[in-house]
């Protein structure tokens, strides 16, 4: 099986020993505490679940700046984006303290993790601007939701190792879908899969997505597919996770052979960081046991901020050879060809014009679904469309 990133064994930071977990929960009652940002909480969940192996906690200032500029920590570990605990004010907390990190996304802010604070440092405005530019490729004066969320957390950086005590709301709200990297690795082994491709989604899967997964599996000779959906914070207008989950499960049930696809999810907030986020996605897919990862057109993008294939080209131009073991499956837009009566990758149909494909904008699809109209069968499976129509009907 493929090795985790940066180590021979996966080292999740969740405290699985119940006696130790209980003891830490009790200790946390008397510790100084902070209610962390949603992004910091999501980082804790990813650290706890093993997705951010081999990190042991939140990065310090030097590591964060090095990762932003060069995609490696000061010790030389390849890592694409800073993993931070940012606050506006650390209050009376000082280096050497053990503190409780409280969950901002769950009622009454339960303790999510305990942290041994090694350093408290502040980024300058110029350093925050540099990180925004390097991580998000942000242009000056441009409104970018990822940059806004990053800068809204504060400039004070608390670094040090953590022990994670729960998985926030992900395990309770998505018990059938949320899986740790440890659990996915175990299930891949149980299924007897060796070559595994992962597909990232934050949207329902229409026919083109489904066929892209079949293409990747066939061309790579994969034993299995892991559909791995984001369960964390999205931007306004995105389809809620439970609806996506239901739609994707219906698609797999009806249109994938038995024991060929797993439907899973992970607890993270979307960064909308385009190329850098695509690399991060690849790192944590390696940690969960995937040997291949589909990177599509404008992967992890927002609006028209990134070039169509920037998220693929970064693997060739900026990721050092040997930095990761996972391999990338490069995908273009897929769509139904009226000429060939099947879904094809548009770049592989040079004799086609735009009119030869069944193409619908996201806005048009949402309008149709809101009106109770199913998109054509060449665009969406009718069973999937019905789940989405029911969702929009309940919104009105």
Which residues in 289-301 are b (16+ Cβ under 10 Å) and which e?
A: bbbbbbbbbbbbb
Q: ∠224-203-43 over CA atoms, to 5°?
A: 80
Contact 201, 245 (CB under 8 A): no
Query: Which among 321, 322, 192, 206 has a CA at the least distance from the CA of 262?
Result: 192
10 Å CB burial of residue 231 (0-12, 13-18, 19+) is buried
Residues 290, 293: Cα–Cα separation, whole Å? 7
Instruction: Please report, in angstroms and rounded to a whole number, the separation of the first and last CA atoms in the chain.
Output: 48
Q: Which two tokens stand for residue 232?
A: 């964390």
| Cα distance between residue 104 and residue 285, in whole Å | 26
Compute the C-alpha angle 129/132/134, nearest 5°. 105
Q: DSSP string spanning 252-299?
A: HHHHS-TTSEEEEEE-------HHHHHHHHHHHHHHTT-SEEEE-TTT
d(CA 130, CA 124): 10
Catalytic residue annotation: 202-203
How big is the chain by its Cα radius of gyration, in Å? Answer: 21
* C-alpha atoms less than 13 angstroms from C-alpha of 252 in its C-beta half-sphere: 21
Tokens of 358: 């069944």
Closest CA to 187 of 96, 292, 264, 73: 264
Q: CA separation (Å) from 298 to 218, 278, 301, 307?
A: 23, 9, 5, 7
Main-chain dihedrals φ then ψ at residue 122, nearest 5 degrees = -120, 135
> Which pair of tokens denotes residue 143?
């409104």
């Amino acid at each position: 099986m493929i090795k985790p990133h940066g180590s021979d064994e996966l080292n999740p930071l969740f405290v699985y020993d119940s006696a130790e977990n209980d003891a830490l929960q009790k200790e946390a009652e008397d510790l100084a505490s902070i209610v962390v940002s949603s992004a910091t909480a999501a980082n804790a969940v990813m650290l706890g679940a093993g997705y951010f192996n081999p990190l042991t906690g939140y990065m310090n200032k030097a590591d964060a700046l090095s990762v932003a500029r060069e995609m490696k920590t000061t010790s030389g570990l390849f890592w694409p984006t800073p993993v931070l605990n940012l606050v506006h004010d650390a209050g009376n907390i000082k280096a050497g303290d053990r503190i409780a990190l409280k969950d901002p996304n769950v009622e009454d802010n339960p303790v999510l993790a305990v942290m041994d604070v090694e350093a408290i440092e502040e980024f300058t405005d110029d350093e925050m601007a540099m990180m925004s530019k390097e991580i998000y490729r942000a242009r000056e004066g441009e409104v970018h939701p990822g940059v806004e969320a990053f800068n809204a957390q504060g400039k004070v950086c608390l670094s040090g190792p953590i022990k994670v005590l729960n998985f926030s709301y992900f395990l309770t709200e998505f018990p059938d879908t949320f899986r740790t990297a440890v659990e996915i690795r175990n299930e891949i082994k149980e299924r007897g899969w060796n070559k595994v491709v992962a597909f990232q989604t934050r949207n329902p899967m229409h026919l083109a997505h489904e066929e892209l997964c079949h293409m990747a599996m066939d061309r790579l000779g994969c034993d299995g597919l892991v559909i791995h959906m984001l369960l964390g914070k999205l931007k306004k207008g995105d389809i809620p996770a439970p609806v996506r989950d239901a739609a994707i499960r219906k698609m797999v049930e009806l249109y994938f052979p038995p024991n060929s696809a797993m439907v899973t999810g992970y607890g993270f907030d979307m960064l909308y960081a385009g190329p850098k986020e695509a690399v991060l996605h690849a790192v944590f897919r390696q940690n969960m046991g995937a040997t291949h990862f589909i990177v599509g057109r404008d992967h992890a993008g927002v609006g028209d901020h990134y070039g169509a294939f920037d998220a693929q080209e970064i693997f060739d131009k900026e990721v050092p050879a040997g930095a990761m073991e996972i391999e990338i499956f490069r995908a273009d837009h897929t769509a139904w060809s009226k000429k060939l009566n099947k879904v094809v990758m548009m770049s592989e149909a040079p004799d086609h014009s735009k009119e030869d494909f069944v193409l619908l904008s996201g806005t048009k699809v949402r309008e149709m679904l809101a009106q109770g109209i199913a998109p054509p069968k060449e665009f969406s499976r009718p069973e999937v469309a019905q789940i989405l129509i029911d969702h929009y009907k309940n919104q009105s």
